[in-house]
Structure formats: structure tokens, C-alpha cells
Structure 1
Amino acid sequence: MKRIRNIFSKKGEYQIYPGPDPKQAIMGSLVFCIHHKQGCKWSDELRKLKGHLNVCKHDATQCPNKCGAQIPRIMMTDHLQFTCNMRRTKCEFCQSEFSGAGLEEHAGTCGQEPIYCEAKCGQRVLRGRMTLHKSKDCAKRLRRCVHCAREFSCDTLPLHVAQCPRAPLTCPQRCDVGAIARGDMEAHLRDECKALAIACSFKEAGCRFKGPRHMLEAHLEANAASHLSLMVSLSSRQGQQIQMLKTAVSKLSINYTGTLLWKITDWSAKMTEARSKDGLELVSPPFYTSQYGYKLQASMFLNGNGPGENTHVSVYIKVLPGEYDALLKWPFAHSITFTLFEQGAQTGQGGVAESFVPDPTWENFQRPSNEPDQLGFGFPRFISHEMLHRRPFIKDDTVFLRVKVDPSKIVAV
């Protein structure tokens, strides 16, 4: 029954009109395809939606192979060709036909599929021939060395055989011993081989004998005197070489800076000895004013000398014969400064210093002879014993005296 709608007229009277059919209105409404989010662009009246879904490529439908899958029409071709469990397809290697599920089970087991050797020899072999390949053809298969029975891969076995310590070899001296293991050959040649020419044990001394092992003892007995003479000569040469080396080492240790820092240890013991022995003198290592300069040496009398005896420490400098005296200017005229250092971080580099410039007329500084001046020139009252102990000149029973030669100064400081 149609719904009746009453509308109030302008004159205040009611009129009756029939209303629209709601079903028709709904079915005629504009709708989109239910797969519009998947990309379907269809849009039309609701009554046409069912017919559209029968052909919509995005709508799922039953797989015709009856695998049970619901597949969108747009993907059905790929499904039937690649993923359907009920599809019929061939193995690309053996060409056997399988269902989709059967092909998945067959994959990885096909005997005609080429795969890389499991031993990593680099070759690709049919799966069905892999066992035969690994046992007969594979370069990485293991084989035993016939000499030492150790296992090696086939590609490294020849290299091993060429070095195997148990491989039999013939003596290079062609002695009557049979095959000898490579590892024993060195000992054989050194201790046993009768054909090997052996040098005399006095070879380093100059003996030139070289002959079979069995002749060596006879040679040693027959030439004992000559061997002794050779050893004497060798000893003499070695002595000369040692002396040359000592000279070279001593030159390397010589001071060429023109400044000597003399470290005097065991001060107490040396002072006690100086007080008990008159004229006890300590001498420093020689030093040079430069590489080709004057050769000097400092000396010290701990208990004093001359006017400083028993009260002061006396210091002197003497000129020694040097290697280059013939090229130097004489008399020696460089200023000399003696400095006795105070020790300790708080006192810094303080100390006592005395210096002088040699007088050209002094004999002490003329070119020295082979027997230089025994005393030299210096300060007999360099520092008193009382001051030596009052200030920190002695520490750890050690005293430091610096002797500095300065060719640029002509006035003593």
C-alpha cells in the first residue's frame, strides 16, 4: 500500500498525494564498487552492482582447478601458472610433469639440476652425479700421501709430495747408502755420508784441505804442526782486529763538545783515601774542544794540593797530545771555566765557578810533547772543605764538576 501524504493547502484545506517508492529510491542510489580501494573505478546505481561484481577483475572467484583458493580475477592467470597447487607444470631440469605441490617437493632433489660442488672446488655438477664427482673428479677430495700417510686435498698433494719429509731420495754424493728420507738427508750428509768432501776443522785458520770423511782423521794427525802454526797466526790477526775495534769504540765514546761534565761517585771513600795518601789525584776522561781540536783532561785533588792542601779541593786542566796538534794554533788560548754544581731542585743550577784565560807565555799551554805536564794549570783553592759540606754540593755521595772551554772569550768570568 502506498503511503499517503497530506499537505495543507493555502486555503486551509487538506490534499492527498502519493509518496515515492523507497526501494526504488535506494536501488537507484549512486554507489562505488566494493573493491574501489583495490583500484576498481566503477561507479553506478546500486541495482547494477551485482552484475558488475560478476565481471569485476578485482573480485575474488573460485580457482577453476579446484585448489580451494579464492583469487581475484586480475591475479587468476598468475595463480594458475605459478602458485596453484593443482596446476600441471614441468621441472625445468628433468622435464618431468608435476602438480604445483609436487614440483615444490621435487625442487631441491632433482638429479638433473646443476649445483656447485659441496667441497667448494668451484665446479657445477648434476646433483645425481655429485657422489661420483666427489669420489673421483673433485680437486678438493682428500687423498693420502703414500710416504707419510697424511691426508691432503688433490690440488695440494703434489706440492706436499715435493716437500714431504718422508719421501725417499738418493744421496746427492752418490754414496752406497740406499734411499734416504728427505727429512734425514741433512743429518746423513753431516754425520754419515762417506762420499761427501769434508773441509778441515781448521778451515777458518787457513787450512785448505777438503776430502772424504775417512781421510779427515789422517789429515789432522799428519798436519798437527801446520795447524798449530795457522792457529797462532789466526790468534795474532784476531788480536789486531780486537785492538782496532777497541780503538774505534774508544773514539766513538770521546767527548768532542768542548764541555766535560765530570761525575765523581763514592766521594766519601775517595776523600778518606786522599787524606791518607799524599798527592792522590783523580783524573777525568780526556775530551776535545771540537772534533779536530785540542785534547784536554781535568784533574782533581780532593784533599787539596799546594796552598790548598788539607783545606780545599784543587782542580786543574792539562793539555794532552792530540791527533791534530800539528794543525792547531799554539799556544792554547781558550778560556777555561770550572763549575761545581749544587744539587737539588730548590737550588737549581747554583754552584761555585772559577775561570781563567791562559797566558801565552805559560808553558802549560804550549804544544805538548809526548810527556805532557803532569799537573797542568788550575785552582789549588777551588772550594774549601767547609763550604763543600755547608752547601748541597754532595748528594748521594756524588759530586758534579763541569769544565767548559770557550774559544770566544778572552776575559775570565
Structure 2
Amino acid sequence: MSDEPTTNFTASFVIPDEDPSFKHIPSKYYCSGCKKLLRHAFQTVCGHHVCETCKDELKECPVGDNDCKLSASLLEESESFIERFDTGIKRELSRLTVFCPFRHRGCAQECQWRHLQIHSENCEYGIFPCPYVKYGCEFKEIPRNKIIEHANKCKFHPERKVECRFGCGLEVKVKDLESHETECKNVHINCPLEDLGCTKISDVASREKVEEHIRSQNAFHFGLVSDSFGEVNDCVEVLTKDLIAVSETVEKLKDEIKKKDEIILRLQEEIANNRQDARNSNNNPDSFNSQEKSNSSGSFHSLEVNFGLLRVKFDEMEVRLESLEKSSYNGVLMWKIVDYMQKKRDAKTKKASTIYSPPFYSTRFGYKMCARAYLNGDGAGKDTHFSLYFVIMKGDFDHLLKWPFQQKITLSLLDMSGNGVHVSDTFRPDPNSKSFKKPTSDLNVASGCPQFIPIDLLENPSNGYLKDNQLLIKVSIDTSGLKDP
């Protein structure tokens, strides 16, 4: 592979997160502070180089050199210890000689770091997974020169016919197995109303038997559905009573605040009149009766304190009321983000880099969840993408629920033009991730998509994602198998 410079190649070179195996690397390419590779090099006023992490904490010469030219007079002339971002270091790093990452497999190729990715993608010693892994092949480390041979013989080749594993007698192409199993009469499934209490069939039975069960138990199933609607109506009644109680409390607080406002206004007028009388008597406010002044000021301060406490309580009740009005108990969140452009400006200036949705629930007494959005991107999507995450919250009934959380999650940005071109991402929780363990604080670590949708695509007027300066987010979980404790 040629090591000759390529036009604009270095400028577009992005330093990977992993260090390559350098043939030789001078010490000047390591941070003077943490001693790690200088991925983003900043030069100090004394001529040393530090990484982006170390520069923010720099208060003196990073090498602690007594003879360093970082003198008091030099510092007085500089607003910062950092003189500039050094792009030359990145250019020099990109031209250092590195070994192929498949050297241990026999590749003796050496090249400049900036050319390593292209070489790695074409190296004959590289390893790759079978192209039919999604159909069940477990071979994930096949040498490049063997991959075609393996693919042609692979028993999971999509065009190869295999006998149905459920014993229905049909031979089906590998690529069609999944769709066949959704129709195969021998596949074992549950009654679709099992969660509502149907126990008239074993836990699992063939699809053919379940279909016969459904046809013969229409009246029984109708009764189960009716009972379920009754439970839903009970929940609605409880929520309605809660909302009415909160609304009544809010109205009472409004009346109390109005009365306190009137009292404070009268006291302010009395204090102003008393001060004016004192000025008129001898043109000296200090001659005003100190005891009366003290009493009036004290009463006024006490009322101000009470007014502040009432205002806080009123705000808390409004938040609670809003939360109750927007909460859902069916595992689906519909979240309207209003005033999008202002919120995005706040995210850019880090005034409010992230926003949270109201909570929603899997069932009335189930998992408590919310969504989290970064309008100017987060992590790998910073400044380029809209980032969207799912968050497990600490709930009142967590001790009664099954952990870790295992329900399938779907994040969606809805197309409000009516064309139905929604952007969605569906994933299953990692049972080993702390994001889905039983919460020990108010919020678990968020999990989702830092590069959910490019900001340019979201804001493009020809799309229907941003309408009237608003976004509409939908988050849903698969509630199959979930019941209230």
C-alpha cells in the first residue's frame, strides 16, 4: 500500500478511540499531564502539549519544570495557560508508521496511521462474520480468503431448504423460516387472553389447538374482556377522583394567595404612608417612631415569608396536577416538545442540555418510566443529531415488580404531515445493564440512541417532524405478560 500523501486525506482523518501498534512513536506525542496519546493536542504558553481533558484543570506547568519559561510575567500577559489548539500534532500522528492489526495472523504490512482503516478493510488476513449470522450461523471469525467458500456451503444459506423444526413436514427456505413459523400449525403458543385469566388450555399448545380453543370459548373470552374493561373503568374513576381533589386544592391555594396578596398590598401602602409622614414632620425619616416602624416591617416580612411558602406549595401542586394529567398507564407515552427552537438554543449554550418527559407507567401499579431528549445531541451525536433515550424511574411499587426490566422498547419521532414516515428504533433491554436494574435512585442511567435522527433531517421543512415549532415523541413498551401485582 502506498504511503504517499493523498489530497485532503489528513484533514479528514479522524483519530480512532483505540491506539494502533506503532512501529516507533516519539514521547512528544503523549500528553505531558496524563501521559496518554495526544488525540486533541493543546499547546501551553510554555510550549508543552496536553490533551483536552487535562487542559481544563491546568494551573501550572504540566511537567513541573523549575526552569520552565512559564514565568509569572508570562502568565500575567496571558489570559489562559493554553496558547492554542495544535493541529500539527494530529497531522504528524496521522503520518506515523503502524503495523496491521492482523499482524498476529501473518500480515507483515506497515502503513501510515491515516491509511490503516483502508488497509484493514481489505487485508487478506482480516476476519469477518458469516454473512448469514442473522439466520443462525455461529461462525463469526472467518478469514477473508475463506468467507466465500464458507458462505456457499453454509447450512444457513437463505436459499437452502430445510425441514420445519416443528414437524409439520414442509421444506422451507432458510430465509422464509421466520414467516413460516408465524403460520405453522405445529408451533406452540399461548392463548391470547391468558393474561386476562384464561386457564382453559395448557400453558402452551399447538397453534391449531389454540385456534380451536378460541372458536369454542367465545362466550368465556367475552366475559374476560368485559371484566378487564371493568377494571380499567375502576382505574379511570380513581384517577378522576385524584384529579378533582388536586384541582380543588389548587383552587383553595389560589384563593389564599389572593387574600395574602391583598394584605401585603395594604401593608406596603401603610408603610409608604408612614414613611412619608415622617419625612413631612421634620424632613428626617430617622425620626419616625422606631417601634411602629419595627412592628410594621416585622409584620410585612412575616407575610412575605408566608406568601413565599404558599407560592412554593402552589407550584408543587401545579406540577403534580400536570403530571397526573399527562401520565398514561398502558405502556405508551405521547410527548409533545413545544418551543423547540428555544429549547435547542438552551441546549447549545448548555443552559439546559437535556429535557425529560412526564412519567408514564406500564400498568396502574407497574414500572415507572420517562423519556430523555438532547435537542443538540449527546455523545456521538453531539451538535449533529437529535438524541433520544428511555429511562427507568424509581416507582412506588418496585418491590412487587420483576427485575431486571425485560420489555421490548420502541422510540419514535412521529411524522405530523400525515404521510406516516415515522422514525423509530426498537431494542430489547440488556439484562446486565444497570439501566434496567431495580432503581436505587430517582432515575436509572438512560439507554437509547445518541444518533436517533440528524438535526438537518429533523428540521427540514419538507419533512413533517417539526410542525408549529413542536415535536411529537412516542415511546412504547411491549406489555405482553405484564400484570398489576
What TM-score, normalized to structure 1? 0.38
More helix by share: 2
Structure number with larger C-alpha Rg: 1
More strand by share: 1
